[in-house]
Structure 1
């Protein structure tokens, strides 16, 4: 069968490539054409547009690149009509993909969505488009089933790709001494710093994390560098602070750490799956104004995936003007020194992992997709 994929960012390229690999097992005659990236291209088929040419974020950037965005839509529409796939598989990236879903519906092309847009957090009105244009939704968080049920739209929970990726992560048997030696660290107990991947969030969060780190001289704080940012950028933000940086070793760093300071996002889930106690931080511009506006922007009680999955506070969330050197230090001290507090968090992690289920997310999705198409 013929599968047309659209993945508009790096994470979508990763998840779509895994799904393509599993589809080939279920459907040996599978053919692929796609908007995606290098990982998808490695699985075969035809890359029509790289996600690097689609990543336009922010109002001004979008306005400046409207002609390119329109050209991407026209290319996707023309290729869909010319190739006539058995199914269009959309991967997250809602601004582009929901419009393509409408186009596919208008031309009687079956459409599956793999990894739901986060419309449960904001822009919930988009659920109307999902119901109208998406034939099957394959979700990766258990709470999404309940969210869509409120709108009388059944979905298929297939598990979470983070669980899959961590199950096959490299260097799982590496010792603390080997990790320390390989990265020329001091040998003190480690605390991981995961400050996000975008420049603005790193600028906002990392100084708070490192100022808190100065209050714990008995530990060595190590920063997990994002592949998208050069070391020179981090050194500018650190302003002379002697914080070691490791790149492409986030899982290895977490595995050897006693605790972690984590910017809200998928990293909170990764940290919890690896059973590392954490403090969740989120800080953007506008301070108190952003915090006061949160109830109007976000439609969810928590912003960390750990708490959302279990539907109660497992990890403390420090948001906006509540994310200070004092609050981060206080919470970190609790998870390091208060045994019962730490164990309560780890017990919450156990519950979260049970709700997520076993590895095999992409395999389950591929099997169901092929069965539905047949």
Structure 2
């Protein structure tokens, strides 16, 4: 019997994780009809995309405020699309600011709501726990320490490991990647400036300023094809000779010797590939000051948060400059420092690995639909 599920993935990581979950669900029930928000990866899994995540990807308090009319318009459009689609359930993936509002609305219409990748209420906006408790049918978490947190707040949470572990372990390695991209035998410094246009414009120039002073490395940018003009603009402007690798970050991490990484999912991906990294973040000054007062965690990188200690260096806001980056690169070039980081990466693997993560989530998701 065919079932209909509406999915909302408002970010690149949600598109990635969502596509894997949809694929696993379709193997259990090939008759599911999917519609909703996403990108190319969800589209490949036969999800009928009615809103592309790239059109709704706003970062920071100020940026959200500037785009509030567009966001409200997307709420109206999404509600209209859901009403027309008449789904048996809604699957919300991360993207909490928007998705928790949709959860409240769906609850009032008696539509079951499943949330994959819990809002980070342990870091800020703890008041959202009440919405999760009252409006979410099932909550699927991806960080090991979240289970106890939610149970302490009377929310049942399902943990089947971190999905990245399965994605990375199951990928087919491109053994010819290094030669096909014309890399030499010099060490490779990978730059991961983020996926959002506004963060790339902030992070990439600083990364390039630091990287161009390390002539002993080949420089490679992990990029998205839709932002091609931005990478080329900054490489030309700063006179940096770079390899730009589009939509293939994992193949780049597979051969990288060191990475400069914008805070986000990429920090965990880099750690799981065992690449020594420097985590960086710089945002709108006002947004940062607001966040600093509201967010109550010790670290910004997922690697450090999961391990509950500093494994990788973090350069935040004013500290995120080429001088400080170069200082940290020098440290990472010391064998002991680098070796300690990679040893801790092995413990990170142990904390996050469960077999068949997506299959287990899919089974639990479809149990009641």
Query: Into which bin does the TM-score normalised by the smaller protein fall?
Result: 0.7 to 0.9
TM-score (norm 1): 0.87
User: Which residue number corresponds to residue 304 of structure 1?
Assistant: 301
The answer to whether the 8 Å contact 2:9/2:18 transfers is no
Change (3 A) 1:144 1:227: farther
The structure that has the greater radius of gyration is: 1
Equivalent pair of 2:13/2:265 in contact (CA under 8 Å): no
Q: Distance in 2 between matches of 1:170 and 1:160?
A: 19
**Are the counterparts in 2 of residues 282 and 319 from structure 1 also a CA contact under 8 Å?**
yes
Q: Distance in 1 between matches of 2:290 and 2:56?
A: 29
* Aligned pairs (5 A) from 1:7-86: 7-9=8-10, 10-44=12-46, 46-51=48-53, 54-55=56-57, 58-65=63-70, 68-79=73-84, 83=86, 85=88
Counterparts in 2 of 1:77 and 1:294: CA distance versus 1, 3 Å: closer
2:67 partner SS? helix
For 1:118 and 1:64, the matched residues in 2 are separated by 25
Correspondent of 1:196 among 191, 194, 211: 194
Displacement after TM superposition at 1:137 (Å): 0.1
Q: Report the 3-state secondary structure (helix = DSSP H, G, I; strand = E; otherwise coil) of the residue aligned with 1:299.
A: coil
Query: How large is the Cα RMSD of the aligned pairs?
Result: 2.6
C-alpha distance in 1 between matches for 2:284 and 2:323: 19
Distance 2:115 2:57 in 1: 19
Structure-2 change in CA distance of 1:130 and 1:283 (3 Å): same
The aligned residue for residue 254 of structure 1 is 253
* Cα distance in structure 1, aligned partners of 2:172 and 2:125: 37
- Deviating more after overlay: 243-252 vs 135-144: 243-252
Q: Which runs of 5+ in 1 are unaligned?
A: none
How many angstroms apart in 2 are the aligned matches of 1:291 and 1:53?
23
Whole-angstrom CA distance in 1 between matches of 2:222 and 2:251: 10
What is the CA–CA distance in structure 2 between the aligned matches of 1:267 and 1:53, rounded to whole Å? 21
C-alpha spacing 1:34/1:2, structure 2 compared with 1 (3 Å)? farther
Q: CA deviation at 1:327?
A: 1.8
Correspondence 1:333 to 2:330: yes
Helix, strand or coil: the match of 2:214?
coil
Partners of 1:84 and 1:270 in 2: CA distance: 33
1:244 counterpart residue number = 243
Match of 1:225 in 2: 223
Give 1:367's aligned residue: 363
C-alpha distance in structure 2 between counterparts of 1:162 and 1:119, whole Å: 21
CA positional deviation for 1:61: 4.7
Q: Are 1:279 and 2:281 matched, yes or no?
A: no
Where in structure 2 are there 5+ consecutive unaligned residues? none
Judge conservation of contact 1:291–1:321 (CA < 8 Å) in 2. no
Corresponding residue SS for 2:227? coil
CA contact (8 A) 1:269 1:305 kept: yes
Instruction: Kindly indicate whether the alpha-carbon contact (under 8 Å) linking 2:57 and 2:196 is maintained by their aligned counterparts in 1.
Output: no
2:343 to 347, 365, 368: 347
Q: Where in structure 2 are the equivalents of 1:132-281 lying within 5 Å? A: 132-174=134-176, 179=178, 181-230=179-228, 232-238=229-235, 239=237, 240-281=239-280
Distance 1:3 1:215, change over 3 A: same
Q: Which of 315, 319, 329 is matched with 2:316 structurally? A: 319
Larger mean CA deviation between 292-301 and 186-195 belongs to 292-301
Q: How far, CA to CA, are the matches of 2:366 and 2:24 in structure 1?
A: 10
| Paired residues of 1:212 and 1:325 also in contact (CA < 8 A) | yes
| CA distance in structure 1 between the partners assigned to 2:342 and 2:47 by the alignment | 43
Q: 1:233 to 1:159 in 2, by over 3 A?
A: same
Secondary structure of the structure 2 residue equivalent to 1:5? strand
TM-score for both structures, normalised by structure 2: 0.88
**In the aligned structure 2, how far is the partner of 1:324 from the partner of 1:88?**
42
